[in-house]
Chain A
Amino acid sequence: EADIYQTPRYLVIGTGKKITLECSQTMGHDKMYWYQQDPGMELHLIHYSYGVNSTEKGDLSSESTVSRIRTEHFPLTLESARPSHTSQYLCASSGGWGRAEETQYFGPGTRLLVL
């Protein structure tokens, strides 16, 4: 089983609040990703990082920001939550050589509801 953790698992919060979704992995992977997943829809990449101090925006426009100060930690922050941010957020990591490098390991996800 993959060692990647996300907290909180569920979050209900009011509009305008600042929130940080935590993601940590203990596998020493250099690459980490944040996805947004809505019911019946494909995963959309919102941020990714290929190493410490490296972050990029993904294909889906997002008002969130990320940081990668340590290899194992990749938090996602929303400065001002809105109802349109309601979704499931999945964190993933990958690393290694050859075939293993293609495998992304996922955390359990954070379900966010903004009222």
Chain B
Amino acid sequence: QKEVEQDPGPLSVPEGAIVSLNCTYSNSAFQYFMWYRQYSRKGPELLMYTYSSGNKEDGRFTAQVDKSSKYISLFIRDSQPSDSATYLCAIKKGSNYQLIWGAGTKLIIKP
């Protein structure tokens, strides 16, 4: 069983829709949760970072962590074509600096 599971998609939605992207993880000891965005032909870039359960908001983006269910989500409001990218969840593994990555969900926002 993979430590982090993420549906690869693709997920195609119309412009303006609310998007929900999700990951599940297996180890209840994980504490640091990240969402990265990767455009085609580019490296991933950090989008959101959360440490605890609950919600964290940044503009149109909201990251949510449910530690009881071992479930993390990224919500995008008022989605734009420029949001079309692959979104990867990443979890910090233990006390070192390594990350465990989901496979990424390809998101397509149709104008």
List residues of chain A with CB under 8 Å of any chain B CB: 2, 4, 31, 40-43, 45, 48, 50, 58, 90, 92, 94, 99, 101-109
Contacts and interface: CB of A to CB of B under 8 A. Distances in A.
Interface residues of B, number: 23
19 contacts: A40-B104, A41-B103, A42-B4, A43-B44, A43-B88, A48-B97, A48-B98, A50-B97, A90-B43, A92-B43, A101-B97, A102-B32, A102-B34, A103-B46, A106-B43, A106-B44, A108-B41, A109-B41, A109-B43
Contacts of B88: 42-43
Interface of B: 2, 4, 6, 8, 32, 34, 41-46, 49, 51, 88, 92, 97-99, 101-104
Nearest to A10: B41
Nearest to A4: B43
Chain B interface mostly helix, strand, loop or mixed?
A: loop
A15 to B, nearest CB: 25
B95 to A, nearest CB: 12
A92 B43 CA distance: 9
Contacts of A2: 45
B99 A104 contact: yes
Contacts of A40: 8, 103-104
A58 B34 CA distance: 20
B98 to A, nearest CB: 6
Contact of A42 (B41, B42, B43, B101): B101
B105 to A, nearest CB: 10
A43 B92 CA distance: 13
